[in-house]
Structure 1
C-alpha cells in the first residue's frame, strides 16, 4: 500500500466525479512548493444526456455516460495528461450504487466466506439483479458490522476500458458514500464521544440515510427525493426507529446540499452540516450558477 502511494505521489491525478446530471473532471497536481498538497490545475464540466424514464433498467441509468466520458478524454488537455503518466480516481454517484449493512459474524473468518455472505445479504435486499453487481465491503473491525456497496459490473468494466484505451491507469473507483464518510469521520474526530448519530448524504434527487451506533453501521437506505427532502428523511428516520428501536433524537449529520427551506429543520439544533470535500464544492457551485442563470 505504501509503495503504491509513493508511486502516485509525484504523478498528476485525473479525479472524475460521476453525477446523474454531469461529469466533473479535475486535473490535480502536487508540487514541492505547495507542500505536496493536491492543487487544481484544470477542470471541466460535461452535461450528461438526461433520461426521463428507465423502467428499472440499470443499463438505461448510465447509457450515454461511458460514451460521453470517452469523447471528453479524447480532447487535447486530457490526452496530454494521459501522455504524462497520470493516474485516475473515480467517484460514482449514489444514484448508481446500492448499499447494505453486513452484520458481524465470528463464523466468517476468511474472505471467501465473507464474500458469499455478502452476496446472500444483497440478494435478500435487492433480489436477482444483485447477481450482476460488483460487490465490495469495508474491512470489518472485530465484533462490528460492515458497510457494503454494489454497482453494476458491466458499468465498471466499461469505465476501466475507457481509461485503458486512453492509456490512463485507474487507481481506484469509489462510491460517493465513501468520500462523504471520510468527511464525516474528520468531523467526528473533533467531537469527543460522538458515537451515535444519523448520517444523511444528499445528492440531486437522492438521499442516502444511515444510522451509526457505537461507531458501528446499523442501517442504511437510499431513497429518491422530491421537494421536501427534510420531511422525507424525517419520515424514514421515524419508521426505522420503530423497526429497530433506534433513538430518533440523535444528532443528524448532513453531507451535501442541506434542505434549509424546512422550518422544522431550521428550528432543530440536532441538524449539523458537514463541510463538503473541497473538490466536490465545485459541483455545488456549478449547480448554484445554473440555478441562478436566466436565459434572455
Structure 2
C-alpha cells in the first residue's frame, strides 16, 4: 500500500494510491487532517485497512509534496565514497556526517516542475532516498534504528549550486529555493530491512543515467544517521531524513550540466517507485 498527498479540484487530500487513481481517506479519519498527522499518530496501518474496503475516489489529481506540512527535514551531504572524491580535496572518509536543513516549501510533488529562479542558471539534481520517522527517540542505538522508521519516499534534492557558497560554511541558501526540489510520489510503509539494505538508486536526466549506486555503499549508513542525529536532537514522528546522493550530479560533470527548462529528471528505487519532474523557469 502506498499513500500520497494530492490536490483535486483545488482541494487538498491524502489517500491510498492505486493503479487507477486515488482513494481519499481523510473523510474516514477526521482526527487526521493531513497525511503528516496520520504518520505522527502511527496511523498508516489504519489507513491501509480503510483503503481495502474503498473504491477509487479521484482519477483527476496532481501530486503534492508527499508531506507538505513536515516540520523538520534534515539532509545528509557527501555520503558516498565517489561523491567525496568529487571534491578533489584529498580528504579521507569523514568521521562525522555533514548535515543541513531543508524546508517543505523547497519541494514540489511528483510530475510537477522544478522551478529554476531568475537569480541563477545552476539548478542541479540530487537523487536520494528519504526516510520518515514513525517513532521518536533520543540517543537511538544503531541496532534499534530501523524500528523508528515509518515509511520511505524519494527525493530530488534540487540545489542552486552558486548559492551554496554565499557564506563561509553555510549551504542553506542554495538548498531552499521554493520548489527547487521534489519529494514523493508517495510514502511506502517500511516493513523490511531489505527495502534499504538492498536498494539501488538511479537518477536519469532526459533518459540518460547520471547517478547509479547502492545504498549499502554509503559512508554513513542509515542506521548510523539515525543514531548520530538522535544524539543531539530528539527525533519526532514525521521528521524526514534525506539520506545522501551518489556521484554524478550536474555540477561535477566536465563540463557541468545544469538543469534547464524542458528537461525531465527521474529518481528511481525498486520497491519505492519513480519520482519524475520537468523543469521550468520561475514565472
TM-score, normalised to structure 1's length? 0.29
User: Normalized per residue, which structure has more strand?
Assistant: 2
Larger Rg: 1
TM-score, normalised to structure 2's length? 0.30
Larger RCO: Structure 1 or Structure 2 (Cα < 8 Å, ≥ 6 residues apart)? 2
